[in-house]
Amino acid sequence: MITSINSSPLYKIVNPQSIAFFGASNNFSRMGSIMLSSVQALGYEGAIYPIHPSEKTVRGYKAFKSVMDLPEPADLAVMVLPTDIVTDAMRQCGERGIKHAIVVSGGFKESGSAGAELQKELEAVADNYGIRFLGPNCLGVANPHLKLNPTPIPAEGPPGFVGLASQSGSFITQMFNYLYRHGMGFSTALSVGNEANIDIVDCMEYLGVCPHTRVISLYIEGINRGREFIETAKAITPHKPIVALYVGGSEAGKKAGMSHTGSMAGPDEVYDGMFRQCGVMRAKTLSELFDFSFALASLPKPSGKRVIIQTNSGGPGAAAADSIGRAGFELPILSQSTIEKLRKVIPRTASTDNPVDMTFSKSPMDDFYEIPNILLQEENADMLLIYFISPAVFFERVLADSGLSADRMAEESKKFYDTHAHAFFSLVQKYKKPVIGYTYRSLQEPIVRDLLDRGVPIYKDPERAARAMAALVEYHTIKDKVSEKRISGRIIFEEAGSEKRASAL
C-alpha cells in the first residue's frame, strides 16, 4: 500500500503539470483532436505539447515533431495513435525521460492474440524505462479539480466527490452529464482499459487517499488481482465507502466483458463474498452505483432503521411506505409530543400517522422548515425521507396571476426558492440524522436542484431512495466490523486535517 498520494503511480497521471499529446491534429474529426479540444474546453492550465509530424501548431498550441524536441520531459504523455506506432512512441517517451502515460489506442489484448503480442512488447518497453501507464484501450483520466479532461466528451458541472475507477472508458466520459443531473460530480475518474501496467486496484488505492474523493465507485467486469483487491479495499472501507457495480456475474455480462476488455469474470457468489469480506457495497445497476455513492458520501451514520416519511400527497406517501417497508426499514409511530407540535402547523385534514401526510401544502415554509424541524426531533426515528413536489408549480401560477413584470417575477421566484432551500438545508446541517428526498419531477427544478448542489440526496423514485438508504445502513454495519478487525491488526488510520487518510498501510 502507498504511504502518501504522491507515491502512487497515478499521481502524475491524475495531476500532471505538462502533457505531451500524441494524435491530435487540426482535423477535428480525429479522436485525438476531439480529446484535446475537451482539455482546452475545461481550461487546463498546465503546459500542452502536441506531438505532430508535420503541423506547426495544433489547435493553437505550438506543435513538436518529436518528444525529443520538448523543452522538458512532460509529466504525462497521452497517446491516441494507430496501434502499430504506440510502442515506438512509448520508447521515445522513455528516451526523453517521460515517466507516465495514458494509452488510449486500442487493438491490443482485447482484439486477439496478435494484439496480445503487441501489448507484451508495449509493456516491456515501459518496464525498461520505468514508465507507468494507464491502458491501452482506455480513456485515461478526468480530474475536474485540475480542470483536466482529456476524454472525448466535454465535462459538465463543477468538480465533485465521486472517485470512479472503471473498466469501461465510456463510464468516465459519458457520466459527466449523468452525475451532474443527479447532483454529483467526479473528484477523479479513471479508465483502466486493458490494465497492462496499472490496474483497478492501483486506482482504488489512489482514490483511497485522494482528498477530494468522498466515495469510491467501481465499474468492474473482472478483477485479476483478487487478494490485493481485498487487502486494499479492507484498508479503505473503514474510512471511505466503496461501491462496486460488477457485471461479470451473469453469463451474458461475463461474455460481454470478455469481448470488451478481455477480463476474466467469476460467478456472482465469489464476488459477493469478496465484496462482503472487505466492506464493499455491491450495486446491481449503474443507477444504483451512483445512487449508493451519493448516499454514502453525503449522509451521516444512521443510528437505526426507523424512518419517518413526510409527504403532502397520499399516493406518493403510500408508495414510499411500501418501498421503505420492503427494504427492511421500520415506520415508527410518532410520539405524543411530536404529534402535539405537528397539530399546530399542519392542515386539519393532515395525517399524523407515518407517513406524515399534510394532504396539501398549507404554507411552503411549513413544508420546508416547520414540519421537518419537528420530525427531525422525534426520538423514535433515525432518518427522514421527504417527498418533494416543487412548490414552483403553485408559486409561479400565483405570481403569474399577480400581474407582476417578468423581471420582478423572476426576482421574486429566486428569492422564494433560495429562502426555502436555505431553510431546509439549515435543518439538514443542524440535526445529525440522514435526510433523503424523492420526487417524480425533474431534478433540475428549483429548490430540489439547489438541495442536490448542497449535497442532499434526492432520488427519482422512493424505491431508489430506499435501496440507497439500505446501502447506507449496511455500509455502517459492515464498516464497523471491518474496522474492528483492523484495529487489532497492523493497520492504523490517522486524522489529517478534516480528511482521514490511510497512512503507513
Q: What is the footprint of a copy of itself within residues 184-223 (CB under 8 A)? A: 219, 221
What dihedral do alpha carbons 163, 132, 42, 89 form, nearest 10°?
A: -150
Q: Does 314 bind a copy of itself (CB under 8 A)?
A: yes
Q: Which is nearer to a copy of itself, 15 or 354 (CB)?
A: 354
Find the binder of a copy of itself among 46, 97, 107, 300 (CB under 8 A).
107
Helix (H) or strand (E) holding 375: helix 371-375
Q: Which is nearer to a copy of itself, 17 or 349 (CB)?
A: 349
Q: Does 152 bind a copy of itself (CB under 8 A)?
A: yes
Cell numbers 478534516 correspond to 498
Q: Which is nearer to a copy of itself, 75 or 195 (CB)?
A: 195
Q: Does 24 bind a copy of itself (CB under 8 A)?
A: no
Q: Where in 237-256 is the site for a copy of itself (CB under 8 A)?
A: 245, 247-253, 255-256
Residue 240 CB, shortest distance to a copy of itself, in Å, is: 23
Task: Identify whether the C-beta of residue 495 lies closer than 8 Å to the C-beta of residue 250.
Answer: no
Find the binder of a copy of itself among 23, 50, 185, 257 (CB under 8 A).
257
Burial of 407 (0-12, 13-18, 19+ CB in 10 A): exposed
Distance from C-alpha of 23 to C-alpha of 101, rounded to nearest angstrom: 13
Burial of 349 (0-12, 13-18, 19+ CB in 10 A): exposed
Find the binder of a copy of itself among 454, 460, 476, 500 (CB under 8 A).
460
What single DSSP character describes residue 404?
A: -
Q: Which of 302, 304, 281 is nearest to 291 (CA)?
A: 281
Q: Which of 158, 190, 167, 428 is nearest to 299 (CA)?
A: 428
Interface stretch with a copy of itself, choices 50-58, 172-180, 410-418, 482-490 (CB under 8 A): 172-180
Residue 41 CB, shortest distance to a copy of itself, in Å, is: 9
Q: Which is nearer to a copy of itself, 106 or 457 (CB)?
A: 106
Q: Where in 62-101 is the site for a copy of itself (CB under 8 A)?
A: none
Task: Identify whether the C-beta of residue 100 lies closer than 8 Å to the C-beta of residue 77.
Answer: yes
Cell triple for 69: 524536441
Per-residue interface string for the shown chain with a copy of itself, residues 463-492, x marking contact by CB under 8 A: x-----------------------------
Residue 19 CB, shortest distance to a copy of itself, in Å, is: 20
Residue 331 CB, shortest distance to a copy of itself, in Å, is: 5
What single DSSP character describes residue 370?
A: I
Q: Where in 274-313 is the site for a copy of itself (CB under 8 A)?
A: 284-287, 309, 313
Find the binder of a copy of itself among 456, 462, 493, 501 (CB under 8 A).
462
Q: Cite the beta strand spans of 8-112 per DSSP E.
A: 18-22, 47-51, 57-58, 61-62, 76-79, 100-103
Find the binder of a copy of itself among 68, 325, 432, 504 (CB under 8 A).
325
Q: Does 355 bind a copy of itself (CB under 8 A)?
A: yes
Q: Report the alpha-carbon angle 486-275-2, nearest 5.
A: 50
Residue 29 CB, shortest distance to a copy of itself, in Å, is: 7
Distance from C-alpha of 315 to C-alpha of 311, rounded to nearest angstrom: 9
Find the binder of a copy of itself among 37, 66, 377, 503 (CB under 8 A).
37
Q: Which is nearer to a copy of itself, 34 or 423 (CB)?
A: 34
> Residue 434: CB partners within 8 Å, gap ≥ 6?
295, 299, 300, 302, 382, 383, 384, 469, 472
Q: Does 266 bind a copy of itself (CB under 8 A)?
A: no
Residue 23 CB, shortest distance to a copy of itself, in Å, is: 14
Side-chain half-sphere of 177: how many Cα atoms within 13 Å? Answer: 6
Residue 504 CB, shortest distance to a copy of itself, in Å, is: 35
Q: Where in 366-395 is the site for a copy of itself (CB under 8 A)?
A: 389, 393-394
Find the binder of a copy of itself among 40, 335, 351, 377 (CB under 8 A).
351
Distance from C-alpha of 95 to C-alpha of 130, rounded to nearest angstrom: 11
Q: Where in 220-239 is the site for a copy of itself (CB under 8 A)?
A: 221
Task: Identify whether the C-beta of residue 328 lies closer than 8 Å to the C-beta of residue 362.
Answer: no
Mark out the alpha helices in 377-491 (DSSP H runs).
Answer: 392-401, 406-430, 448-453, 462-487
Residue 167 CB, shortest distance to a copy of itself, in Å, is: 7
Cell triple for 102: 495514458
Distance from C-alpha of 242 to C-alpha of 146, rounded to nearest angstrom: 23
Residue 311 CB, shortest distance to a copy of itself, in Å, is: 9
Q: Which is nearer to a copy of itself, 150 or 355 (CB)?
A: 355
Count the residues of the shown chain that bind a copy of itself, applying the rule CB under 8 A: 79
Burial of 276 (0-12, 13-18, 19+ CB in 10 A): middle
Interface stretch with a copy of itself, choices 5-13, 29-37, 200-208, 270-278 (CB under 8 A): 29-37
Q: Which is nearer to a copy of itself, 46 or 332 (CB)?
A: 332
